[in-house]
Every structure is written in structure tokens, then in C-alpha cells.
Amino acid sequence: MVDQRSTVERVLAVTAETVDRVVGWSHLPKPLALAVLVGIRSQLRALNLVDTDPDPVPPLDPPLKASDHCKRTIDGRFDNLAQPDMGSVGARFGRNVPLEATWPERGARFHEPSPRVVSEKLLARTEFQPADTLNLLAAAWIQFQVHDWVSHLTSPDSEPWLIDIDADDQWPHSRPMRVPRTPALDGPADVPPTYANRDTHWWDASQIYGDTEEYAVAIRDHDAEGNLLATIELADDGLPTLAAEQLLDANGPKANSWLGLALMQSLFLREHNAICRRLTVAYPDLERDQDRLYNVARLVNSALMAKIHTVDWTPAIIAHPTTVTGMHANWYGILGENFTTKFGRLVDNEILFGIPGGRTDLDGVPFSLTEEFVAVYRMHPLLPDQLDVRSLATGQTRRSYRLDELLADHVHERMADWSMDDLLYSFGRAFPGALTLHNFPAALRDLARPTGEAIDLATVDVLRSRERGVPRYNEFRRHFRLRPAKSFSDLTDNAEWAKQLERIYPDIDDVDLMIGLYAERKPRGFGFSDTAFRVFILMASRRIAADRFLTTDFTPDVYTEAGMAWIRDNTMRTVLLRHFPTLTPVLTKVTNPFAPWPST
């Protein structure tokens, strides 16, 4: 890509990275730290966006008319009107590191050290380490979002990866462990392979609306004559009907469901229906155009999720004062919510007024999510070993469930056993696990798959980065212009971990990315590493800035005035209270719904 910045912008951005390397942004006063983060983001946008399409299609000239494409499509096409296929189902994952650095590991390098040994010696949970500044809704939320963003296809019919199991390993299943491969897309033999996303790349709530026309139709209500209505039909347990669920791929994201994901799905399907009701009150004529009503409600619901992730969830998991301010600035600008709400967007400047409603900006590279983004979002340690279901009325534990009793096969049973407000309260009271070594839940390290075979998900997490050519930890940091760890003790301030790492890895440069991210010292208030944060700085804002429906078409003409007001006036707190007002006494006592809730 061509660096489109002015000389002054480049100098300021390089200076910001230099200050960060010498001092560290998290140690600076907030105003200076924010300026440094802006400079780092400028560098990342200029240097860490890589298009992986070997045969790009030229942009349409002129582009399609926005007035002909004013809704989110099921397959994600037509978000970008000059390149209609951008970000659609089946589009390639991009990269945040140079293509030449993304060759998949093969041969001895792929197997050393054994991903299963890494799982056993470095990841297996020895005792539950809680993230006590968060609640379990935070873990449910991020899986809910990931199910919208990324899902690789796998190929069970191809020759699987065979993971050796040591003789003294307690793995109770067949040996070696068989892991389906990720099929690569067609491309030149002299270029590293690329892979397809089975979801859309856009922030479009596809995790509830679906990626196929068949499912999207199946979840909608029908009137007496069988015509489709704008609202979603929900079963007694608050989830899509069984007929709709049966249309989902049993080997896809459906197999990765659990109770927390189901709670979020049910909550925001209810929110869709509430938005429909509000829109028909404001615009009675919409009742005669059910497709238009459905599409506007989807736009509003999707944008509200993006807002919640930006101003509620992210400030909870990276609770450093600078990043809390920075995430709010991403949405509202540094002038703040009150100023932006009162005066509107006076000039097109994302720093002053936030990204939503500004110009669509691709930074010279077609939009896609990236393999590096997928890799740093491996957060399975967030799941606890058990959940105590508590009574909202008394605060007392009524029953405890092991994690394996909350997974896909048990979701409908758990949702039927307990009321939503009790379950939400129980998640609000529970801690997720910390993103650290020795904290990967046992239930996920012996996980039954729809094929009947079991896998160790920690092993698979390590394997996938090697398979897809995501650089190992030190090399990853070099590509983001960060100082690599000089030694194991330089990587982590836990002396015992340093010794364990040295026993597993021959050299510090051999440390897998996920292992380094979990071992690394974290900035104050952070639930994940500063290395992972670099990818978030880049991609969190890019997912908004590249999306027409969150930038140039984030307008009342597309969303309606009532729809824009719904997004403006709502947060995770108001969504919870709208559908479950019994939570009011608890939620009035917390500043962020993703922080631990008090006892009733």
C-alpha cells in the first residue's frame, strides 16, 4: 500500500512510536498517552494492513447508488458500493504483517514443541484464576461478537493434522489426536496461502440474523396468511425455533455454543423486536412494508452492538484511564458525548467527533478482518469451571453446573430450567477466568465434537496459528515495531513461568504467539496483553471506519430519526433493563454492566 499521510503526520507518528518504545504509553499522563496512541494507530494503519487477494477486482466506476442498497445483505455484499464483494461471506482474511512472513509452518517446525505438550504444561488450568474486575457477561459478550466476525471453514474430509500424544499423557481418547485442516483458497504457489471467512467481515450482527437467506427467513415471524413479518419468532426459551436452528451447520459455530452465548443471542433478538415496535409507533406506514421495517431494525440493532462493544465492553476489559477515554473518543470524539449529541458533527474529524457518521475510510486497503485479529482473540480462559445459578430475589445459590453442563448440547435445557433474569444475574455475579497461562478450562481441553471425536481446544488454538502462518510471539512483535523479548525472564515477571517456558521452548523466538500473549506483563487495568492491544488499536477503529453503514450512511435517511435516537440513547445497561426490569436494583449499583454485580 502507498503511505498517503503527509510528512508532518508521518513524523508525528514515528515520534509517538519512539516515545512508546522508550517510556511506554501506559506510563504517560493521559493527554500525552492519548496523543501517543493516536500516533501509534496512524503507523498501524499505514504499515500493518495487507491485502491478500492475488487477483483483485477493479473498483466499479461509477460506484453503485447508495439509494439502491440501503440495507445490510445476508451475505455482506454491497456494503462497499465500489467493490460490492468486499467483506462478504467467503471473502479472504487479510493480514496485519507482510505476506512473506505468513508462510504456514510445516515439518518439524510445525510440531515443535508439540501443541499438546504446550497445552499440558503451559495452558492446562491448575486452579481457577479469576479476572475479578469483570463479570461472566463480559466473556459471553466477546464470544457473541466473535461469532459475528470470524469463522474459518475446516475440511474434515482432507487428511487431518495428527498430533502426537506422549506415552505418559493422560489423554483418554484415540492417539494421535486428529484435527481437521483449514482449507486454503486457490492462489499462486509462490504466495502464502489465504483462507476464507464463513461469516461476513462486517459488524452486521450476522450471529443472530444468519449468513444464509434460508436461515434469515426461518427466524422471522409469519402472519395468519403466512407472510413474513419484521419481528423474530422466539421459542419458549427465548431462542430461535428448533426449525430455524436445524438449518445451522452442526459442525460450524453452532457446535461452539454455550449458555453465555445463548443469553446474548436471546437478549438481542428481543432487542430487535423492541426496535420494531418503536419504529412502528414512530412511523405507522412501516407496518405496510415489513421488509423495510426488518432491515431498519437490523441496522439499528447492529449499530447498537458496535456501540456497546466500544463504550461498554472494551473499557471494562482494558480499564486503564487512557484507554477508557480513548474508546469513548472512538465513538463520540474527544469533545465527548454531550458535546457531540448537542451540536452534532461540526466537521469531519474522527478525533474530535468520533468515527461513526464520518467518511468511509479504507486506508488504501480493501476491508477484511485478519488472521492476526483472529489469533489475538483466542480467549477461551475467560470461561470458568462452573457456574453458580443464583436467585435474583435472594442472591442465594440455587444450583451449580460444571462448564461441560453449559455447553452446546445442554443450552436449551439450561435456558428452560431457569428464568432469564436469574441467569443474567448469575452471570453478573460470576467472575470469568483471567487471560493467562495455566488457566485453560479442563472441559475445553477434552471437548466432544459433532463428528464424535474429542479434541483439546488449547492444542487446537496453538496449532491454528502455526497452520495459518501467524508469526510466533517475538516475530509478531517485530512486525508491529515492538521490542522482542530478549529472554524468558524478560517476557514474564513470573519467575516460575519463565523456567517452565525455558523447559518447553528451545529459544525465546520459538514461543508461540498465544503463549507469549498470556505470559506477558499487562498494563494497569488490562485484561489482555499490550501486544494484542496493538491489533485492537488498528482493527477496532477500522471495523467502524470502513463500514458504510457506520460512516457515510450512518444517517437518519437510512436509519430513520427514531432509529438514530435508539442508538444514541441506549447502552448495555438500558438493553438489560428494558427486557428485565427486575435487574434495576442491581444495575443501579454498578458503573459498567460488564463489571461485577453486587449481591441482592
What share of the chain in percent tops pLDDT 70? Answer: 100
Mean pLDDT of 278-297: 97
Report how far residue 303's alpha carbon sits from residue 262's, in angstroms, rounded to the nearest whole number. 20
- Residue-level pLDDT at 4: 77
- Residue-level pLDDT at 250: 76
Mean pLDDT of 181-199: 95
Query: In this structure, how many other beta carbons lie within 10 angstroms of the beta carbon of residue 72?
Result: 24
Helical (H) or strand (E) element with 16: helix 7-22
Residues in contact with 168: Cβ distance below 8 Å, sequence separation at least 6, in sequence order: none
Q: Which of 140, 273, 290, 143 is nearest to 209 (CA)?
A: 273
Residue-wise pLDDT tens digits, 11-44? 999 999 999 999 999 999 999 999 999 999 999 9
For residue 552, the number of C-alpha atoms closer than 13 Å in the C-beta half-sphere is: 14
Report how far residue 209's alpha carbon sits from residue 89's, in angstroms, rounded to the nearest whole number. 14
Residue-wise pLDDT tens digits, 218-228? 999 999 888 99
DSSP class of residue 410 equals G
Residue-wise pLDDT tens digits, 363-398? 999 999 999 999 999 999 999 999 999 999 999 999
Residue 230 CA from chain centroid, whole number: 27
Catalytic residues: 147
Report how far residue 2's alpha carbon sits from residue 570's, in angstroms, rounded to the nearest whole number. 39
Mean pLDDT of 73-90: 97
Collapsing DSSP states into helix, strand and coil, what is residue 212?
coil
Mean pLDDT of 512-537: 97
Region class of 105: left (phi > 0), else alpha (psi between -120 and 50), else beta: beta
Query: In this structure, how many other beta carbons lie within 10 angstroms of the beta carbon of residue 100?
Result: 8
Strand ranges in 323-394 using DSSP code E only, listed in sequence order: 386-390
Mean pLDDT of 401-414: 96
Q: Which pLDDT band, with edges at 50, 70 and 90, does 188 fall under?
A: very high
| Contact (CB, 8 A) for 198 and 209 | no
Rounded to whole angstroms, what are the CA distances from 61 to 58, 81, 225, 310? 9, 10, 44, 34
Q: Which pLDDT band, with edges at 50, 70 and 90, does 1 fall under?
A: low
- Residue-level pLDDT at 341: 83
- Residue-level pLDDT at 315: 96
Report how far residue 39's alpha carbon sits from residue 45's, in angstroms, rounded to the nearest whole number. 10
- Residue-level pLDDT at 429: 98
Q: Which pLDDT band, with edges at 50, 70 and 90, does 104 fall under?
A: very high
For residue 180, the number of C-alpha atoms closer than 13 Å in the C-beta half-sphere is: 17
Helical (H) or strand (E) element with 228: strand 228-232
| Secondary structure (DSSP) of 95-133 | BSS-GGG-PPP-HHHHHSS-HHHHIIIIIB-SS--B-TT
Backbone angles phi, psi at 212, to 5 degrees: -130, 150
Mean pLDDT of 424-440: 98
Residue-wise pLDDT tens digits, 296-333? 999 999 999 999 999 999 999 999 999 999 999 999 99
Beta strand 228-232 with 386-390: parallel, antiparallel or unpaired? unpaired
| Contact (CB, 8 A) for 214 and 157 | no
Residue-wise pLDDT tens digits, 545-591? 999 999 999 999 999 999 999 999 999 999 999 999 999 999 999 99
**Which residue type, as a one-letter code, is found at position 48?**
N
Report how far residue 42's alpha carbon sits from residue 350's, in angstroms, rounded to the nearest whole number. 12
| Contact (CB, 8 A) for 317 and 432 | no
Report how far residue 432's alpha carbon sits from residue 599's, in angstroms, rounded to the nearest whole number. 17
Collapsing DSSP states into helix, strand and coil, what is residue 142?
helix
| Contact (CB, 8 A) for 85 and 79 | no
Estimate the share of the chain in helix, then strand, then coil, as percent rounded to the nearest 5: 50, 10, 45
| Secondary structure (DSSP) of 143-186 | HHHHHHH--B--BTTSPPEEE---TT----S-SSEEEPBPPPPP
* Residue reference for cell 428464568: 419
**Mean of pLDDT over the chain:** 95
- Residue-level pLDDT at 561: 98
Query: In this structure, how many other beta carbons lie within 10 angstroms of the beta carbon of residue 58?
Result: 7
- Residue-level pLDDT at 156: 79
Q: Which pLDDT band, with edges at 50, 70 and 90, does 158 fall under?
A: confident
Rounded to whole angstroms, what are the CA distances from 239 to 236, 246, 268, 303, 334? 7, 12, 10, 21, 39
Mean pLDDT of 470-493: 97
Q: Which pLDDT band, with edges at 50, 70 and 90, does 248 fall under?
A: confident
| Secondary structure (DSSP) of 178-191 | EEPBPPPPP--TTS
Q: Which of 534, 249, 255, 261 is nearest to 375 (CA)?
A: 534
Helical (H) or strand (E) element with 536: helix 530-545
**Does 356 have pLDDT greater than 80?**
yes
* 592's grid cell: 459498567
